[in-house]
Amino acid sequence: MDAVRFDPIRLQPGHLSRPRSHERWRCEYIESTSYPEKGSCVLVEEEARTWIVESRADSEVETVMASTALICDTEPWKDLKEHINVIEKTHLRDLMNDVDRCQSMMVEFDGIILDYSRQRARLDTTEKLFKLAEAADLRKKIDSMYNGEHINSTENRSVLHIALRAPRDKVICSDGKNVVPDVWDVLDKIKDFSDRVRSGSWVGATGKALKDVVAIGIGGSFLGPLFVHTALQTDPESADCANGRQLRFLANVDPVDVARNLKGLNPETTLVVVVSKTFTTAETMLNARTMREWISSALGAQAVAKHMVAVSTNLTLVEKFGIDPANAFAFWDWVGGRYSVCSAVGVLPLSLQYGFPIVEKFLKGASNIDNHFYSTSFERNLPVLLGLLSVWNVTFLGYPARAILPYAQALEKFAPHIQQVSMESNGKGVSIDGVPLPFEAGEIDFGEPGTNGQHSFYQLIHQGRVIPCDFIGSIKSQQPIYLKGEVVSNHDELMSNFFAQPDALAYGKNPEQLLHENVPDHLIPHKTFSGNRPSLSLLLPSFDAYNIGQLLAIYEHRIAVEGFIWGINSFDQWGVELGKVLATQVRKQLHLSRTEGGPVQGFNFSTTTLLTKYLEVEPGNPSDSNELPRL
Ligand SMILES: O=P(O)(O)OC[C@H]1O[C@](O)(CO)[C@@H](O)[C@@H]1O
């Protein structure tokens, strides 16, 4: 039996490494505190200052040992802290003159070019970042993820979205079981089902083909599929396959979202896909009940079986809801919601719209990056480089935000998706062991396609706050336009901005240049650009299904790298719970006040006043009859 000494303040869920099955551990603690229940480790005995804990797990897989050491206590971290002073004395204007440096900061993989020469970094900065990666055990953490270890320790789960896009013959295990065959069983089922719907052999209750799909889901059960759908809509090959079909997404519990999504739809030709990992999310379930009512009031209750299918890990609740389990598409608890677009969450709606072969290309693109991330040296590894540079910007240089600027209208929904992947993953205040972080982790992600953003928030980026920018562009347009007599094609016009903006940010414009241009003195401060503003550029061959899959995986892994370096758990999301609990209290109050006229009670002054006003303006009880949108 190992004797382990724990500091009680650091005892939090996630702290204890799970002993092997039925192994016992003696854990000495310094002060009396209650035993932190964690996963399958149970307290079997308590002596003076000692707990005896035993693992009741069946599996022999050990939870990755969470070390109580923080990354900021390591030498490479301290070295980087010192290094800030060196970088503060540089300007990108000068750094960009060093051609060898710039050449070393360009990496190409499978036609994707990453140029990070406009980062506030020298070659020794990246060397130091690689040392930090070593100190953070990055290699080991990536391996642990790929080996299916329970790296999501606060939920005691593997993190295996890579298995969702793995080829059939790959072996990826979670808890000793190869999960790839299960993944392909569901993919085959989706292919079969979507083929039948698209060919018209699966029809609605009145015998009509189902050409319109409404996917209900929120957060990770919505944003990824919406991003991919928006990107594929204008890809010529994908668009051809979607001819005559519509895919819509109903996410918000706001009835206006229902109204907008139902507008112009006929229940006879509509298939509803309810997407929810848990099948308990309040917004999704109310929207699902609303759509069930919309179908059954028009076509009869028996029509639900033909018009509603589900994607979930909770097949028991799917059946309880009234959806035939034969029409449910499973996924697994080792798929995090925000990492689930490659599961049935995205694959089912996208296959219904574009056909399975297009979606398979998207999966292959993501899988290609999974292999690259796993097997390429850190120096040439796109997600690793991007992740390390983000840590450098956020934690060392102190830039809290990141702008995601695709010069591609097709990527309109990329930033909203990455907002969730990044901010829900890395928006954490404690280490994976529960130790409060003495440094900033996570970043604020936002963005808009260029050139729209240029006419919106770029002013702040050029002359206000420093926001590291990701410029994302493609060599080929999805929909080229060229007008005879124009200087350049429309895509070249767009890309002129893609190439110009990073230099404008890096070089800026100084007062001497302005004087030389005869700018009046009083305008010189207003027209001066300090420059030295970091960005990076990602140039892809195109935005077809394959490249979209690659882009998605690059960002997913980049965000994991950041979390691995910061030493946090990027795969849980406890922070979203409190608001949900409080909403339950408010919901109860609204019901009570509407049905029994009860006064608002149990809230603070502010909430009581607002709730009272809210109830005054729209008084009355929930009605006995259904009300659906009238748009
Ligand atoms: O798929 P579900 O279970 O409905 O959850 C939806 C979303 O809700 C969250 O749990 C919190 O917002 C996300 O992580 C998740 O993607």
* pLDDT per position as a tens digit, 139-162: 999 999 999 999 999 999 999 999
Long-range CB contacts for residues 258-264, cutoff 8 Å, separation at least 24: 258/287, 258/290, 258/291, 258/628, 258/629, 259/629, 259/630, 259/631, 260/631, 261/214, 262/214, 262/294, 262/628, 262/629, 262/631, 263/631
Residue 62: pLDDT band by 50, 70, 90 thresholds? very low
Burial of 590 (0-12, 13-18, 19+ CB in 10 A): middle
Q: How close is the Cα of 284 to the center of ligand 1, in Å?
A: 9
Residue 44: pLDDT band by 50, 70, 90 thresholds? confident
239 vs 49, more confident: 239
The answer, yes or no, to whether any atom of ligand 1 lies below 6 A from the CB of 563, is no
Q: For residues 151 and 159, what is the distance between their CA atoms, to the nearest angstrom? A: 7
DSSP bridge pairs for 455: none
pLDDT score for 55: 65
Q: Is 491 among the catalytic positions?
A: no
Identify the helix (H) or strand (E) that includes residue 113. Answer: strand 112-115
pLDDT score for 581: 86
Q: How close is the Cα of 3 to the center of ligand 1, in Å?
A: 39
3-state SS assignment for residue 425:
helix
Which tokens go with 36? Answer: 């932190």
The answer, yes or no, to whether any atom of ligand 1 lies below 6 A from the CB of 537, is no
pLDDT score of 67 more than 90: no
Calculate the alpha carbon distances from 312 to 24, 211, 328, 568 in Å: 36, 23, 7, 27
The answer, yes or no, to whether any atom of ligand 1 lies below 6 A from the CB of 220, is yes
Ligand 1 atom nearest residue 275's Cα: 1
Query: ipTM strictly over 0.90?
Result: yes
Contact yes or no for 225/345 (Cβ under 8 A): yes
Residue 6: pLDDT band by 50, 70, 90 thresholds? very low
Lowest mean pLDDT among 66-70, 326-330, 526-530, 600-604: 66-70
Q: Is 580 among the catalytic positions?
A: yes
Which residue's CA is minimally distant from atom 8 of ligand 1? 219
Q: For residues 191 and 212, what is the distance between their CA atoms, to the nearest angstrom? A: 17
If you average pLDDT over every residue of the chain, what do you get?
Answer: 92
Q: Is 424 among the catalytic positions?
A: yes
The answer, yes or no, to whether any atom of ligand 1 lies below 6 A from the CB of 336, is no
- Of 155, 424, 448, 556, the catalytic one is 424
Mean pLDDT score, 274-303: 96
**Considering all CA atoms of the chain, what is the largest pairwise distance in Å, rounded to the nearest integer?**
88
Residues 359-377: pLDDT tens digits?
Answer: 999 999 999 999 999 999 9
The answer, yes or no, to whether any atom of ligand 1 lies below 6 A from the CB of 277, is yes
pLDDT score of 13 more than 60: no
